[in-house]
Amino acid sequence: MTAQDSSNNSSEGSSSKTTTSVYSQGVTTKLASMNIQEATMDDKVGLYWPRMIMILLGPPGAGKGTHGPQIQQFLGIPQLSTGDMLRAAVSAGTEIGKRAEEIMKVGGLVGDDLVVGIIRDRIRHDDCRSGFLLDGFPRTLAQAKALDEMLAEEGSYVSKVIELRVPDEVLEGRIMQRWIHKESGRSYHIKTAAPKSMKLDDNGKPIPESMKDDMTGDQLIQRKDDNVKALGKRLQSYHEDTVPILDHYQPKGVVRTVNANQSIDGAWEEIQIKLRRR
């Protein structure tokens, strides 16, 4: 062994024992006074395995609000809502949050560049080091390309796109009978997935005051745009703006289509299969 080799080995051993910030796959992981041989499996996964970066797509009423939280719990990765991230950035007073707040104060729409910036900041948190599920973004091909560019800069990439497919003609019935927990996004359906608290009036319709979230007891709501007219516009937007995202990722081999026109349990079983790496 040469003196230079000895010096290099000594330097490497010393650096591995000190507090080191390792930026791998877009996640900053701190190994505080730890040799890599002593790292936990979670540490190693965060450093060496590709993160599972997922996008959940589907038309309104396809079941994203039902299956998103299931995926989050099943894989132990956070479900990131652009709305929640935006509000958190504004509340925290981050540089991007301040810029977004200025735009919203005058009634403007927050641009894709700011949304991507907010996502970049959020996915650097420790809870995202093994992966994350994007909720509500991207909605357009331009947003998908901007997301790809940002992830590439971070050393990451979209590893899975789950498409929940339901025929348009089936969605009307789902939408008209859907109730939402506003804070979490959990959704209920009065026929197929009713809340435990639901009570019906003499006409067989749910009593609004009885519609409570199973987990929190909070009051459920019906979205103002959950009606036939609004659904038509939302479906048109989905097919014109969002479906091209599937075509964009299809050549990358990461798109998995799930038949969501079945029972919730049946769709969930299929999703679990499609979540596998192979």
Known catalytic residues?
A: 64, 139, 178, 223, 234
**Residue 250 has what DSSP assignment?**
G
Contact (CB, 8 A) for 135 and 79: yes
- Cα–Cα distance list, 91 to 98, 161, 217 (Å): 9, 30, 26
Reported in sequence order, the residue ranges of 166-267 that DSSP labels E, i.e. its strands, are 178-180, 187-189, 255-259
Quote the CA–CA distance of 7 and 14 in Å, as a whole number: 10
Which 3 state secondary structure label does DSSP give 162?
strand
HSE toward the beta carbon, residue 150, CA cutoff 13 A: 21
Task: Supply φ then ψ for residue 275, to 5 degrees.
Answer: -75, -20
